[in-house]
Amino acid sequence: MFPLLIAILSGLGFILAYHTYGRWLGRRIFNLASGNVTPANRLEDGHDYVPTRRSVVFGHHFTSIAGTGPIVGPAIGVLWGWLPALIWVVFGSIFIGAVHDFGSLLVSLRNDGQTIGDVAGRLLNRRVRLLFMIVLFIGLTIVLAIFGLVIASVFRMFPAAIFPCLVQIPLAVLIGVWLQRRGAALLLPSLLTLLLMIVSVVYGDVGILGIFNDALAALPMITWVLILLAYAYIASVLPVWMLLQPRDYINALQLIGSLGLIVVGLVVAGLAGGAPVGEEASRPPLEIIAPIFQWDPEGAPLIIPFLFITIACGAISGFHCLVSSGTTSKQLASEDDARFVGYGSMLTEGFLAVLVILACTAGLGLGIAGSDGSTLTGEAAWTERYGSWEMANGLGAKVGAFVDGAANFLGALGIPAGIAVALMGVFVASFAGTTLDTACRLQRYVVQELASTPGTMFRPIRIFRNPHAAAALSVVLAAGLAAVPASGDWSWASMGSGGLILWPLFGATNQLLAGLAFLVIASWLWRRRKPVWFLALPLLIMLVIPMWAMIDQIFIGTGRDSAWLGDERWLLAGIGVATILLEGWMCIEALLLMPRIRGVLEGTDVKSDIS
């Protein structure tokens, strides 16, 4: 019952926060007004700027920001104890993550839907804009490389997820064209799509489809990465209504449906126990099997600062400011929708992270297969997966702990284990896929904006103002980064671990980006003499904690890995040091400017800039 109580109280807390703190931000701080014309309406071009109903935008935004971050992060963060992980997820989402997302979206709405980096130049100076854009470029290159590898890894671990994920693409195009040309209501295509996706999961690994899935799962990692990045290129240059919006909407239906199943399964498991196990076929009770708090788990880094950057997207993610300001702000038909999409999506992601924590700390205890083939329940199941940092630190261990724990919740409903695992595999892969194609579109925007910087008149630079050239550069660089092998052996079979070498920097770089986004939001409010006190602590946390973690990872390592700077670790150190220097420079520039810009509005040539 206790895990069920945690889920209920967390859910109620998020709902309360949305209707109190979120409403206060919308009304008193950001002054949302339905009469303000959004960039999607004023600059509509049928390609990037497309006014869209808020349910579709919510689907795009939620699935794009969630990715595997709120799954992978909390799944390993619980190693320090379920209580600190839960506290950071709940309060971090409400007071830091959702504020960051909402603020980034609003600032972009008031600046022609420009990315947060471009807005930084308008609010501060051109030099800050350039610095921020370079940081965004580095961060998105890492995201593209990593998520291509993550999806490939998930497909190799859960082959049954391949066909259901692939079939989403033609379904999305059909629905996108249908809605665009006929302007039809969403109810019928929503129901049909959800039904088809359920059928694809149930029967998508049967007979010849199972052979198809196994054959694709056997492809080398780098082959999958290239296929996925090629798809991301196509998705990034097509009009948003044709693939990006409908695919994200389909995923949102499927993922929210899966979340609903997890919640119902959690309720049943909490009240009646899990699926029967053992010779006596008894239903094991649902209880938390993880420690409340572990200051120093075996082989793990220090809880501070690493708990915060490990959980990352479950509480706050700098990547969200790119989605908010890069694609979402170009699709909102009404400014009133900003709180629902910006603040509400992050709270939904926070609730997902809570469910991940419960799946890994309670769901696992309902029964998993041990290394010797036996069925383990209770604390024995926890020890099997979380006996040490090394046991929990791999991508497979993180994803596997959630998939097994969540599948046990579904098992309590009587859903067969094979279908439950396949459904959760599709759940993870679909989240990662939406992040990949959105990230590629965002990187295209960043490259185009960099190429449009005054003074970049040299023709090889100007060519990247073209969307196809910008998208091609984005995927080529990401593919090159992902191809770096950990072993130094540049064979086709061994390539495909470069992005995973950079995984230790992902959380820190991601959250440092959130700190810089807070800096831009604070500057926007500061110029308008709006309150900024509520941003002071989040800004400080998001600049200090990630920087601390990054410095430790690059220069200290606290004995966790004696080869931090050996072999391909030059990649880790080089990108990390460059990021630290760029972000430090930007912070200094902003601090020097702050005293001079209080109450002084930026250029009056921005039509959407409303004071």
| pTM for the whole structure | 0.88
Q: What is the mean pLDDT of the chain?
A: 84
Q: Which residues are CB-contacts of 109 (< 8 A; sequence separation ≥ 6)?
A: 36, 38, 39, 329, 332, 335, 338, 608
* Residue 485 or residue 569, greater confidence: 485
Nearest Cα to Cα of residue 84 among 390, 295, 289, 312: 295
Is residue 261 predicted with pLDDT exceeding 50? yes
What gap in Å lies between CA 434 and CA 328, rounded to an integer? 13
Please tell me the predicted confidence (pLDDT) of residue 458.
46
What gap in Å lies between CA 486 and CA 488, rounded to an integer? 6
Please tell me the predicted confidence (pLDDT) of residue 211.
93
Nearest Cα to Cα of residue 507 among 572, 555, 450: 572
% of the chain surpassing 90 pLDDT: 36
Is residue 295 predicted with pLDDT exceeding 60? yes
Which residue type, as a one-letter code, is found at position 288?
Answer: I
Tokens of 78: 């619980």
Please tell me the predicted confidence (pLDDT) of residue 396.
63
Confidence tier at 191 by pLDDT (50, 70, 90): confident
The winner for highest mean pLDDT among 117-121, 147-151, 327-331, 417-421 is: 327-331
Which residue type, as a one-letter code, is found at position 519?
Answer: L
- Domains, the chain, ordered by start: 2-597 (1.20.1740.10)
Is residue 443 predicted with pLDDT exceeding 50? yes
